[in-house]
């Protein structure tokens, strides 16, 4: 009995006569290695369908090409190689290839004062595309930090001043009594409100960038903000965190401007957009600020 030739419906033509911008798959489970650790990722893979009469693409070829990403450390060169395989396997059909990876690698972060450390996850998206020799890569990184409201801090200081005036009016001041008052509940009659906030960075990587600068970007962003959320802490670390918040009072506008200036000086960035979301503790809504930049733009 002769083996039957399996039908390939994707090779059929269509009378619709319409090219498509993107055809592919999303949510493909994939293990990758980044920073020496194995991480579960989700991939969206696709190509353009430029032949207006082609009925479809060969999705299995995209799926099989993704296996290259499992072989070693994830970097831009292997991402570009996979995109090239997408195009090579769709010669005559597609001119553009796309690949998006969603993952959340872990970084070990030290405590502020004590010798403790712990793991923190960093939600990350890698967007890449290839058209001819034009390869583009963009990193989407989310950083979580604490923000203390400058307005709330000023109002709290005013209440503390008023309480001090009430408690010490007409009395001679001496160092011991003032020091004791400052350490009592009366000395901190009001506190400014703080909240967990998030900075969403979208950074287009320069053409000469090879590796994936996840830890470098996380360090840059967190040191710029000054109040990154912590992992393992002792009381000394918590006190240092309170001090950091007091020295880094920030509206969402302040945070965006800090990050903007820092990323402008980052040589591997060709462009970026920043979106900061401050999850308000006073209001039932969030405060948001955004900024963007492109190297060489007026």
Q: Compute how many other C-beta atoms are within 10 angstroms of the C-beta atom of residue 168.
A: 13
Placement of tokens 């923000």 in the chain: 147
Q: What is the pLDDT along the chain (298 residues), one digit of tens a residue?
A: 456 776 666 566 665 678 999 999 999 999 999 988 999 999 999 999 999 888 889 999 999 999 999 989 999 999 999 999 999 999 999 999 999 999 999 999 999 999 999 999 999 999 999 999 999 999 999 999 999 999 999 999 999 999 999 999 988 889 999 999 999 988 889 999 888 999 999 999 998 888 889 999 999 999 999 999 999 999 999 999 999 999 999 999 999 999 999 999 999 999 999 999 988 877 889 899 999 999 877 6
**Reduced to 3 states, what is the DSSP secondary structure of residue 112?**
coil
116 within some domain: no
pTM (predicted TM-score): 0.88
54 within some domain: no
164 within some domain: yes
CA angle 149, 142, 192 (to 5 degrees): 10
Beta-sheet pairing, 106-110 with 287-294:
unpaired
What is the DSSP code string of 172-237? ---HHHHHHHHTSGGGGS----EEEEEEEEEEEEPTT--S--HHHHHHHHHHHHS-BPPSS--HHH
184 within some domain: yes
Domain that holds residue 185: 150-169+177-192
The tokens describing 138, both together, are 């963009």
67 within some domain: no
158 within some domain: yes
Number of structural domains (the chain) is 1
127 within some domain: no
119 within some domain: no
């Amino acid at each position: 009995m002769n083996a039957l030739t399996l039908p390939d419906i994707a090779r059929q033509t269509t009378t619709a006569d319409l090219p498509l911008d993107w055809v592919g798959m999303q949510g493909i489970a994939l293990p990758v290695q980044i920073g020496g650790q194995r991480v579960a990722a989700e991939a969206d893979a696709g190509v353009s369908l430029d032949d207006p009469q082609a009925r479809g693409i060969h999705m299995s070829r995209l799926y099989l090409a993704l296996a290259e990403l499992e072989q070693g450390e994830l970097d831009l060169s292997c991402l570009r190689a996979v995109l090239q395989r997408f195009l090579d396997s769709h010669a005559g059909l597609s001119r553009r290839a796309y690949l998006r990876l969603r993952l959340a690698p872990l970084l070990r972060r030290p405590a502020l004062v004590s010798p403790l450390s712990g793991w923190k996850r960093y939600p990350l998206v890698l967007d890449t595309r290839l058209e001819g020799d034009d390869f583009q890569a963009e990193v989407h990184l989310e950083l979580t930090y604490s923000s203390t409201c400058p307005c709330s801090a000023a109002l709290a200081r005013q209440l503390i001043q008023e309480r001090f005036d009430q408690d010490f009016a007409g009395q001679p001041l001496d160092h011991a009594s003032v020091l004791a008052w400052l350490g009592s509940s009366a000395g901190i009659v009001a506190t400014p409100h703080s909240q967990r906030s998030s900075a969403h960075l979208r950074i287009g990587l320069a053409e000469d960038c090879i590796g994936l600068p996840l830890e470098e970007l996380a360090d840059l962003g967190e040191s710029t903000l000054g109040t990154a959320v912590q992992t393992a802490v002792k009381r000394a670390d918590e006190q240092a965190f309170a001090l950091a918040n007091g020295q880094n009072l920030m509206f969402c506008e302040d945070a965006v401007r800090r990050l903007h200036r820092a990323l402008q000086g980052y040589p591997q960035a060709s462009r970026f957009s920043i979106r900061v979301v401050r999850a308000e503790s006073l209001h039932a809504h969030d405060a948001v600020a955004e900024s963007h930049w492109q190297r060489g733009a007026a």
